[in-house]
Structure 1
Amino acid sequence: MQKYIIHENLKTDPGAPYLFGADLVHDGCNFAIFSKNGTSVSLLLFDNPSDTKPSHTIKLDEKVNKTGDVWHIFIYGIKEGQCYGYIIDGPYWPDRDGHRFNKHKLLLDPYAKAISGNYDWNVNAAYAYQVGSGLGDLSFNEESNFGCTAKSVVIDSNNFDWEGDKQLKIPLKNTIIYEIHTRAFTMDKSSGVKNPGTYAGLIEKIPYLTELGITTIELMPVHHFNHLENIRTNPITNEKLYNFWGYSSLGFFAPDAWYASDNDGVTAVYEFKQMVKAMHEAGIEVILDVVYNHTGEGNEYGPTVSFKGIDNSIYYMTEKGRHYKNFSGCGNTLNCNHQVVKKLIKDSLRYWVIDMHIDGFRFDLAAILGRDKHGNWQPDYSVLDEINNDPILGSTQIIAEGWDAAGLYKLGGFPSGWAEWNAKFRDDIRGFIKGDTALSGEVAKRIAGSADLFYYGDRKPCHSINFLTAHDGFTLYDLVSYNNKNNIENGEGNADGNNHNLSWNCGAEGLTDNQTVLSLRDRHMKSMMGILLLSQGTPMILGGDEIKYSKSGNNNTYCHDNRLNWIDWTLLEKNNNFFEFSKYLIQFRRKHPVLRREGFLKGVDSSGNEIRDISWHGIQVQEPDWGIDSHTVAFMLDGSKGETGAELDDNNIYVIINAYWEDLVFHLPSPGKEKTWFVAVDSSTEKGFYEVNKEQKVKSSVFNVRSRSLVVLIDKKQ
């Protein structure tokens, strides 16, 4: 017979160690948390997230409520919405063993599926040490933090009707990614949504996303974080600055409540699920930008929120205990290849796939996940390989940012199955379009799928995530409008952000009414958008680029909750021409399988029609110019089904890129048998493209390509 234990009028039993976190069932909830070096654990229950005193404090009995290194208890009568946290006691020896236990600090459950409440890191109580003490972080703080930290919240994971929703599983080669920030996308009044800045607000923009034609949205971090952590102010306006982007996770299972319509953690869970469900109904995948390389607890002088107080020496990579290895550039580095942290990462990812129906992930500074405890690169023996071979995660989109902040750069070096952000594509195309020399050969490699980086094992062109702009760095419009970053408003003396932008302002810095400059900028943008969507690989567009959104030259807007991040939707009407151009190219890519090949191009005729899968040209046919001073690239793609693997033959496509500052006349290769060349795209024209079935017939064997522009021809029967 089960023997119940009564704790402060609560009926309990020992519980189970199997599932970490708060596992709610019909008659109560099982709580379980790992702490190897903690000497005692107490579970605290709160009625509300803002409460400074718990309603119940239950000290777990090491003989009854502990199995191995897992502390656990089952409490009857617990319902969804119950707030809770942990207090864990143990040694406070940062300089000796890296232990930072403090029984006065309420800790978030690392497996909490909802988190509510706010933080105040401006008060001494938020820290495990005495701020201002001569001993620094070696001092000990006995103040309670209950009133200045968020609370974990119990969630009923089964209390949502998905109505048969499943992941869409769009093949990566057919994917077109659109990177957006949940709040920034709809926060501006011009968005016209009822719930601006929220998961619900994203639902209201689905018609726009479907019209644009992208297949997948990539959401910047939605894992729980503290958006109030930034202590700086804008030196120009004196407005408070924020952690807007969210690259400082504190809870890897909970969608952040800042994006809920009522700022509540429970609401965030349900509104997030509703958003994913609505996106799937519209045929749009949702992938998450996830940050498992570090947490928002910072270095030894950061606050104690969760991991530091649970088992600091296990969760973090430390230098002789006291100090943190900083491969992330954010103060600490998670010990990603310790078995407990590996479990946390994989359990979190599985939760987002199974319970939240997420289609895939982009891993921030993913090279860190391939480092061992000493910092050495060991990708095939790391969590990277385990994620790819996981029976649940292996079938999702897994995308790496292939470097970290400590100089480890492994683009192309990730285990099979991983796609990667291709920074070489970004840099080579940017440099070529702005007029840099000695790049035509490199541009050809990027257009053809970057085989020099990805041609090994079972990797394919689609594993190259091609991009020209992303959240960090210039927008596409700023890339052609600013020679220099303009980050003064970040409060760091313009020292933050990348100085190597490969940008060119086209003759005037920033805003201008010079029509010659504006026309040149437009041609450059059209050329870059064209190359992005015509290249082999998987394209990623930064949300807002298609309407010429500008951040006024700020290339590191991580701290602004204003129009430096908020999309200005009035630009859709103002720059509708470029929106229509971008939309056309997206549909062009989706229509032509020759742009989405399964395998790498080899420059040979595999189909037997006497046309190579790709042939390179210059001003003269079959004479590509790979010289130092070359500013042109031209190529022809064989659209036959024998080459593409499609059910029907596609058009042959001829692309000419003239990055030179003068017009050039290009001789054209022969089109397919009994076919004629037609102009589909000419970025030098005001519209930039011709409607389907209204393409302009080419009446000559040569074509005059305007300076700094792109032309796309398709062959078809007259």
Structure 2
Amino acid sequence: MHKSGVNFSLFSRHAVRVWLLLFEDVHATKPFQVIELDPQHHKTGDMWHICVLGAGRNLVYAFRVDGPYAPEQGHRFDPTKILLDPYATAIATPPEWSFAGLSSQGEASALTDSGREATAVAKCLVTGNSFDWEDDRPLHHPWSSLVIYETHVRGLTVHPSSGVRSPGSYLGVIEKIPYFKRLGITAIELMPLQEFNPNEVTAVNPLTGERLRNYWGYNTIAFFAPFQGYSSRLYPGCQVDEFKTMVKALHKAGIEVLLDVVFNHTAEGDETGPTLNFRGLDNSIYYLLEDDKSRYKNFSGCGNTMNCNHPVVRSYILDCLRYWVVEMHVDGFRFDLASILGRDRNGHLVSNAPLLEQIAEDPILRDVKLIAEAWDAGGAYLVGRFPGERWSEWNGLYRDDVRRYWRGDQGMAGAFASRICGSADLYEHSGKATVNSINFVTCHDGFTLNDLVSYEHKHNLANGEDNRDGSNDNYSANYGVEGPTDDPAIRRIRLRQMKNFIATLLISRGVPMILGGDEFCRTQMGNNNAYCQDNEISWYNWALLDENQEFFEFVRNMIAFRARHPTLSSERFYRPEDVSWFNPSGQTPDWHTESAVGCRIYGEHDGDQDLCLLFNPLPHPTNFVLPDLSHDSVWLRVIDTSAAPPFDVCQPGEGIPFGGNASIRLVERSMSVLLAERNR
């Protein structure tokens, strides 16, 4: 957009005709003007373009594109379909937008030359760039200071208990900033918020008959456009302004903003899916196709796979990332199923994949944080092997090993020790650092922390897939009862195990990520795949914060403890002289047979206190002999997951003293942390 009008442009290599459709407003049933682009005057190379003088902000538009319909050659042009601009920065969507009638050629048209109604389809919106960012700048927190909070924009505040004025919205996130500050997190990772259609799910909840929805948002339609449904809808394009307002407010509070982005597939699905943009613009370029060209490769598990390493698609993804950084001020990205970004045009994994290298080396993106979900649905599991030193990874092995250790699985102590020390066995060989490991015990995909210690089996019947969906390998336990219980003994062990998981996460080298709501024991009632549950299964019930204040305070105090002891978050791996592991009797552990282990961590710098970490995942108490100290020092026990407040995490200068070479008793399934301190 410029002062004289708006430039529209569209890539299509194989199109033969292109029309620009202009609408009076988002509710218009037919365009007030249809402009056919003359290839002699409005086409340069593969770019179709036109300047519309007098056009400006809030103009509603879309395209129609004609070309060969030849699925055996990979072409699926259909001039009857309304197509979205892939570069649109805002989308106007109808409240009950349906994908019905938008699939294969020959079905009912959304809009034809005769002007059939277009109210049920999304359209693009021209936006301006007049937002006042004031003095907002990227925060550039060092990786070592990050504590990431993964959350869902709507789910965070839509429940009536949230107490916000703008529930379920970008503005609602702002109202929770005092809470984030109190908790102590330094970055927020937002689940997908690039435009998607929540109404695309057609299944119903077999238990209630309720229509299911795409709640998570992992089916992107427009990659440049923030989701309209998380805005107030007070005026066209307000989602852009309100997203920016949210980012600016989070930055003022010292909190970085990371976006979960889904470039591995789109909402168009397989060959039976809707035609929204890419399929109708140049299907054979945007997607990976099978050898017969009529079907899609499906490394995403969602019907299609973006052709990420085609030069045109690479440029598109880079343009998109730059837009979110430069215009929307985000601090980094988590890439869903990122292994797909390393597949070539035949779907093969390649070393030094062009797209991954370009993202890492792009001059505009050089300072943003890059996090890969280093696997995909096609069998690629690249944890510890994701290419490029700049890429950090969701460490799925950290999650699994820590869960199995605390569940009491045999032979897990060695793996557990490696995860606590930053997973050097995974990352050091490739020249990476501890902060390349994003450590987590729970995330949106799977059990919540409360459910991890309350259910042995997934309970996904409400998803309408006969409990077949979601992972079967949860490494969870219920400690005697499946689901909620009033048994005080079971409740105590569940609370202790949740403390064990949080304490382990926050004393581990690497970058900790907490699933939002875990800090006050949010439950999904055993559902480990709540992608379609836009209801109380997924929403944050803030009444639990009052009910579970002890656990919230434990999480808050553990975050503060990590910040006070930078040895725990160092970006380098421990050297042999930095840490020594021992069994309860003080000898070298037998990693194959022993489960209860401890370690002494020596302070890296003058003034740093030595730490002693003790872990007992066994179902019975264990006595540990403490490491020797000089005669003028004592061990102070400052963390004890079996203790009640204030002794579960003691405040600075407090703690229970033990002399060097003394013995300390750890009750069943508990851990302790001790500090070496001069005996005063």
How far apart are the structure 2 equivalents of 1:481 and 1:406?
31
Instruction: Letter of the 1:704 partner, please give it.
Output: R
How far apart are the structure 2 equivalents of 1:597 and 1:87?
54
Is 1:504 aligned with 2:477? yes
Tell me, yes or no, if the aligned pair for 2:97 and 2:122 is still in contact at 8 Å.
no
Is 1:98 aligned with 2:88? no
The alpha-carbon deviation at position 121 of structure 1 amounts to: 6.8
Change (3 A) 1:619 1:145: farther
How far apart are the structure 1 equivalents of 2:301 and 2:205?
22
Change (3 A) 1:238 1:681: same
Aligned match of 1:668: 626
Structure 1 regions of 5+ residues with no counterpart?
Answer: 1-23, 133-139, 605-612, 642-647
Instruction: Letter of the 2:378 partner, please give it.
Output: A
SS of corresponding position for 2:513: strand
Aligned match of 1:9: none
Aligned match of 2:326: 354
The alpha-carbon deviation at position 146 of structure 1 amounts to: 2.6
Change (3 A) 1:115 1:222: same
SS of corresponding position for 1:318: coil
The alpha-carbon deviation at position 50 of structure 1 amounts to: 2.6
Aligned match of 1:40: 17
Tell me, yes or no, if the aligned pair for 1:652 and 1:671 is still in contact at 8 Å.
no
Is 1:117 aligned with 2:117? no
Deviates more, 1:187-196 or 1:680-689: 680-689
The alpha-carbon deviation at position 620 of structure 1 amounts to: 2.0
Aligned match of 1:201: 172
Q: 1:462 aligns with which of 416, 427, 435?
A: 435
SS of corresponding position for 2:503: helix
Instruction: Letter of the 1:399 partner, please give it.
Output: I
CA deviations on 1:132-191 (whole Å, 9 max, x unpaired) are 9xxxxxxx999967332111110112x111111011010112111100000000000000
Instruction: Letter of the 2:655 partner, please give it.
Output: E
Aligned match of 2:657: 697
TM-score, structure 2 length as denominator? 0.96
Change (3 A) 1:633 1:70: same
Change (3 A) 1:298 1:141: farther
Q: 2:350 aligns with which of 378, 398, 421?
A: 378
SS of corresponding position for 2:366: helix
Tell me, yes or no, if the aligned pair for 2:98 and 2:199 is still in contact at 8 Å.
no
The alpha-carbon deviation at position 262 of structure 1 amounts to: 1.9
How far apart are the structure 2 equivalents of 1:622 and 1:153?
68
Instruction: Letter of the 1:491 partner, please give it.
Output: G
Instruction: Letter of the 2:417 partner, please give it.
Output: A
How far apart are the structure 1 equivalents of 2:28 and 2:40?
31
Deviates more, 1:111-120 or 1:53-62: 111-120
Tell me, yes or no, if the aligned pair for 2:261 and 2:335 is still in contact at 8 Å.
yes
Change (3 A) 1:31 1:123: closer
Tell me, yes or no, if the aligned pair for 2:99 and 2:274 is still in contact at 8 Å.
no
CA deviations on 1:572-607 (whole Å, 9 max, x unpaired) are 110000000000100011111110112111212xxx
Q: 1:476 aligns with which of 449, 470, 485?
A: 449
Is 1:416 aligned with 2:389? yes
Aligned match of 1:274: 245
1:419-568 → structure 2 map (5 Å cutoff): 419-568=392-541
Aligned match of 2:307: 335
Instruction: Letter of the 2:171 partner, please give it.
Output: A
SS of corresponding position for 1:25: coil
TM-score, structure 1 length as denominator? 0.91
How far apart are the structure 2 equivalents of 1:383 and 1:265?
34
The alpha-carbon deviation at position 124 of structure 1 amounts to: 5.0
The alpha-carbon deviation at position 308 of structure 1 amounts to: 0.5
SS of corresponding position for 1:227: coil
Change (3 A) 1:265 1:420: farther
Aligned match of 2:640: 682
Change (3 A) 1:395 1:485: same
How far apart are the structure 2 equivalents of 1:362 and 1:469?
16
Instruction: Letter of the 2:375 partner, please give it.
Output: W
Aligned match of 2:65: 88
Aligned match of 1:621: 586
SS of corresponding position for 2:573: coil
Aligned match of 1:20: none
Q: 2:83 aligns with which of 107, 125, 128?
A: 107
Tell me, yes or no, if the aligned pair for 2:97 and 2:197 is still in contact at 8 Å.
no
The alpha-carbon deviation at position 441 of structure 1 amounts to: 0.5
Aligned match of 1:597: 570
Aligned match of 1:223: 194
Aligned match of 1:232: 203
How far apart are the structure 2 equivalents of 1:364 and 1:334?
12
SS of corresponding position for 1:716: strand
How far apart are the structure 2 equivalents of 1:685 and 1:124?
57
SS of corresponding position for 2:559: helix
CA deviations on 1:635-694 (whole Å, 9 max, x unpaired) are 1111131xxxxxx52211111010011101100012467321101110111222222222
SS of corresponding position for 1:61: coil
Tell me, yes or no, if the aligned pair for 1:654 and 1:714 is still in contact at 8 Å.
yes
Structure 2 regions of 5+ residues with no counterpart?
Answer: none
Aligned match of 1:709: 670
Alpha-carbon RMSD across the aligned residues, in angstroms, is 1.8
Change (3 A) 1:31 1:213: same
How far apart are the structure 2 equivalents of 1:123 and 1:364?
24
Instruction: Letter of the 1:698 partner, please give it.
Output: F
How far apart are the structure 2 equivalents of 1:521 and 1:631?
19
Change (3 A) 1:704 1:73: same
Change (3 A) 1:583 1:671: farther
Instruction: Letter of the 2:596 partner, please give it.
Output: T
Tell me, yes or no, if the aligned pair for 2:90 and 2:224 is still in contact at 8 Å.
yes
How far apart are the structure 1 equivalents of 2:117 and 2:310?
29
The alpha-carbon deviation at position 64 of structure 1 amounts to: 0.5
Tell me, yes or no, if the aligned pair for 1:120 and 1:149 is still in contact at 8 Å.
no
Aligned match of 2:337: 365
Aligned match of 2:50: 73
Tell me, yes or no, if the aligned pair for 1:615 and 1:622 is still in contact at 8 Å.
no
CA deviations on 1:382-410 (whole Å, 9 max, x unpaired) are 21111011112121110000000111111
The alpha-carbon deviation at position 716 of structure 1 amounts to: 1.4
Tell me the number of residue pairs that the alignment of Structure 1 and Structure 2 aligns: 672
Tell me, yes or no, if the aligned pair for 1:654 and 1:712 is still in contact at 8 Å.
yes
Tell me, yes or no, if the aligned pair for 1:276 and 1:286 is still in contact at 8 Å.
yes
The alpha-carbon deviation at position 625 of structure 1 amounts to: 3.2
Change (3 A) 1:403 1:141: farther
Deviates more, 1:265-274 or 1:452-461: 452-461
Change (3 A) 1:146 1:321: farther
Tell me, yes or no, if the aligned pair for 2:636 and 2:674 is still in contact at 8 Å.
yes
The alpha-carbon deviation at position 118 of structure 1 amounts to: 2.5
SS of corresponding position for 1:713: strand
Q: 1:651 aligns with which of 596, 601, 609?
A: 609
How far apart are the structure 1 equivalents of 2:52 and 2:481?
67
Change (3 A) 1:46 1:714: same
Q: 2:596 aligns with which of 629, 632, 635?
A: 632
How far apart are the structure 2 equivalents of 1:649 and 1:265?
57
Aligned match of 1:16: none
1:172-187 → structure 2 map (5 Å cutoff): 172-187=143-158
Change (3 A) 1:28 1:36: same
Instruction: Letter of the 1:697 partner, please give it.
Output: P
